[in-house]
Structure 1
Amino acid sequence: MKQENCYILGIESSCDDTAAAVINNGVVLATIVATQKIHEEYGGVVPELASRAHQQNIVPVVHQALRKANIDKNQLSAIAFTRGPGLMGSLLVGTSFSKSLAMGLDIPLIDVNHMQAHILAHFISAEGQTAPNFPFIALTISGGHTQIVKVTDYFEMEVLGETIDDAVGEAFDKAGKILGLPYPAGPFIDKYAQQGDPHRFSFTKPKVGPLDFSFSGLKTAVLYFVEREVAKNPNFIKENLEDVCASLQFTIVDYLMDKLKNTVKATGIKEIAIGGGVSANSGIRKALKDAERTHGWTTHIPRFEYCTDNAAMIAMVGELKYKEQRFAKHDVVAKARMKL
């Protein structure tokens, strides 16, 4: 089969977004995401509700992706799907559907590591996005993961540091809940932070190994700080929300940058790429651009649609694996915990 006629369908269902995408030679022809709003009232993702919603959404989402890409399912070369890590119930829906579709079409099945996909999303051919050169350092920051990864090749990755407790996205969401912000709180904190004074309040950065992270103590510090200030002034949050958000975001971004600086010093690699939902944050984006000027780094920041969970990144990994014929067997199973 000629490469120009290679169409990969990517399916992503690791958490609460049901997504499908079609890619051809690195170019995304269609990317569809069905977001589950039901979790907002619970202040977090409810696994059972998520898996039920995936069952309802997966067929129409795949149908829309194929229609938008203007291809028939029989033109597909392979099906790529998220095997893990993620919520087991959600992963099972995507895994089962992908296995059935690949078997029905008699085409290869390709399993994809979700975290690997966030990193390799940089190789999608998209306007304003340049692929990093090997080797590079990847900072993956999301609601479930915070890792520093040395990337030597497409499928040769080494975790240099990671969180010992909570992920950075969880820290944003839990702090936002304390401040009375809707779920997910990260975008709201970012929005208010842009109007506030980042030096108004001081939060201590957690102390762990030079390349590792910890966020549980920071969440506790925010809780005690807010409780203390509200006891003195019941209107504290309302009167100081922008400054609290700005100070919190400044602390988290500065902490992330400290770890990247330590990594560059330890490895000598100045090519930096970020990925995951928190890479949409304006503070970390600005800090990375500043680092290009002050430290001589080359930074790669994904387009917004490739930051949060999406199927285009799954399809991208699928295409790279397809070229090397790295196919999965049909007895492949979903894995809630999965290392790079």
Structure 2
Amino acid sequence: MPERFLGIDTSNYRTSAAVYDADSGEWCNRGSLLTVPEGAIGLRQSDALFQHTVHLHEKIEALPQGEVRAVGVSTRPRAVEGSYMPCFLAGKSVAHSAAHLLSVPLFEVSHQQGHIAAAALSAGRLDLLDSRFLAWHLSGGTSELLYVECGADGLPDCTCIGGTTDLAAGQLLDRAGALLELPFPSGAALDELALTAEPQKGFRPRVTDCRFSLSGMQNQVENKFKTEKPEDMARFALETVANAVIKATEQAKERYDVPVLCAGGVMASRVIRARMEKRFGSGVSFAEPTLSGDNAVGVAVLAARLYRKTGADGQ
């Protein structure tokens, strides 16, 4: 029987299902962004849950057919007490039903753990999941610098050691994109626009003990919108995020001499990636854009790890 695993992720931004072959390392992901009304910069949880419920079966039906060893699903944003979002209920319900009918184990993980696993797979660094490393989870709702080690259960054990104290990086970029009437989420379009501008220094937020604030940057971005070309405003926003991320990473590496893995949709930015690679060289690894944003591939990878560790004992 092939070493194939089904992963399901119903996040705040995307409906996603994936199959991962643990023998070959090949994967297939089927996902789509949730529909956000024009001009809006997010969805109510009830609307996200409804869209997942309507479309999840389409993503699963679009996957290659064949037997699977186990089912993995993200059931909460982070693997910490009290972490909860209703949108994950859609995936959890389908995953439990599928595992029962297929008579295979079910493994529950967090959305954040899935991001980290997807980034490790994409970067060719699955070995990191068995060691210690720093990881950035930079997305629309999360801007966390994590110290990660392999937990007793085989899953990434993440401790937040830094990141934003208020506005997430993705929120800042989405608000910049809204001013420019770019589609939501705006990261990819904003990055494309920024690449047409000349490099600039951006603002350097104060970073203390790996933590920084981005809320004040919104006013500066809005002022740029009034006085400068769109591409310069976009570049300013991304360079500002890069400045904060680099400084926080420098501070973290003074305490932890370990590799850095970058996950989350914001880390797909070519502006930010180029800055990070210039500063940290081979010490930093990135997910490719297709696995930077929300996806179920990492969830399937973790299901494979848990299956091989526990055999048929799922949840």
Q: Report the TM range for the smaller structure's normalisation.
A: 0.7 to 0.9
Is 1:280–2:268 an aligned residue pair?
yes
- Report which stretch shifted further, 109-118 or 162-171: 162-171
SS of residue paired to 2:178: helix
Structure 2 vs 1, CA of residues 178 and 122 (structure 1 numbering), >3 Å: closer, same or farther?
A: closer
Contact 1:129/1:301, CA 8 A, preserved across alignment:
no
Q: Which runs of 5+ in 2 are unaligned?
A: 78-82
Cα distance in structure 1, aligned partners of 2:98 and 2:57: 11
Contact 2:133/2:260, CA 8 A, preserved across alignment:
yes
Deviation at 1:41, TM superposition (A): 4.6
CA deviations over 1:165-222 (Å, ceiling 9, x no partner): 121111110122234333222222211211113438x53x333532113221211332
Higher Cα Rg, which structure: 1
Q: Which runs of 5+ in 1 are unaligned?
A: 231-235, 330-340
Aligned 1:24-35 pairs, distance under 5 A: 24-25=21-22, 27-35=25-33
Deviation at 1:57, TM superposition (A): 0.9
Report the equivalent of 2:195.
Answer: 194
Aligned 1:125-144 pairs, distance under 5 A: 129-131=124-126, 133=128, 134-144=131-141
The one of 15, 19, 22 aligned to 1:22:
19
- Report which stretch shifted further, 38-47 or 257-266: 38-47
SS of residue paired to 1:279: helix
The one of 57, 68, 72 aligned to 1:76:
68
Contact 2:18/2:28, CA 8 A, preserved across alignment:
yes
Identity between Structure 1 and Structure 2 (%) = 24
One-letter code aligned to 2:181: G
Is 1:209–2:208 an aligned residue pair?
yes
TM-score (structure 1 length as normaliser): 0.81
Q: How many residues get paired? A: 302
Contact 2:7/2:19, CA 8 A, preserved across alignment:
yes
Contact 1:11/1:314, CA 8 A, preserved across alignment:
yes
Report the equivalent of 1:43.
Answer: 41
Is 1:260–2:249 an aligned residue pair?
yes
Is 1:89–2:96 an aligned residue pair?
no
Deviation at 1:97, TM superposition (A): 1.0
- Report which stretch shifted further, 209-218 or 299-308: 209-218
SS of residue paired to 1:165: coil
Cα distance in structure 2, aligned partners of 1:226 and 1:292: 30
Cα distance in structure 1, aligned partners of 2:39 and 2:177: 14
SS of residue paired to 2:74: strand
Structure 2 vs 1, CA of residues 177 and 38 (structure 1 numbering), >3 Å: closer, same or farther?
A: closer
Report the equivalent of 1:113.
Answer: 110
Contact 1:198/1:249, CA 8 A, preserved across alignment:
no
One-letter code aligned to 1:216: S
Deviation at 1:243, TM superposition (A): 1.4
Report the equivalent of 1:306.
Answer: 291
Contact 2:207/2:244, CA 8 A, preserved across alignment:
no
Report the equivalent of 2:277.
Answer: 289
Structure 2 vs 1, CA of residues 187 and 29 (structure 1 numbering), >3 Å: closer, same or farther?
A: closer
CA deviations over 1:298-322 (Å, ceiling 9, x no partner): 2211121110101111101111111
Report the equivalent of 1:58.
Answer: 56
One-letter code aligned to 1:172: L
Cα distance in structure 2, aligned partners of 1:199 and 1:34: 33
One-letter code aligned to 1:288: M
Superposition CA RMSD, Å: 2.3
CA deviations over 1:219-277 (Å, ceiling 9, x no partner): 13323x247xx3xxxxx45xx111121122112111111111111112222x1110011
Report the equivalent of 2:80.
Answer: none
SS of residue paired to 1:206: coil
TM-score (structure 2 length as normaliser): 0.87
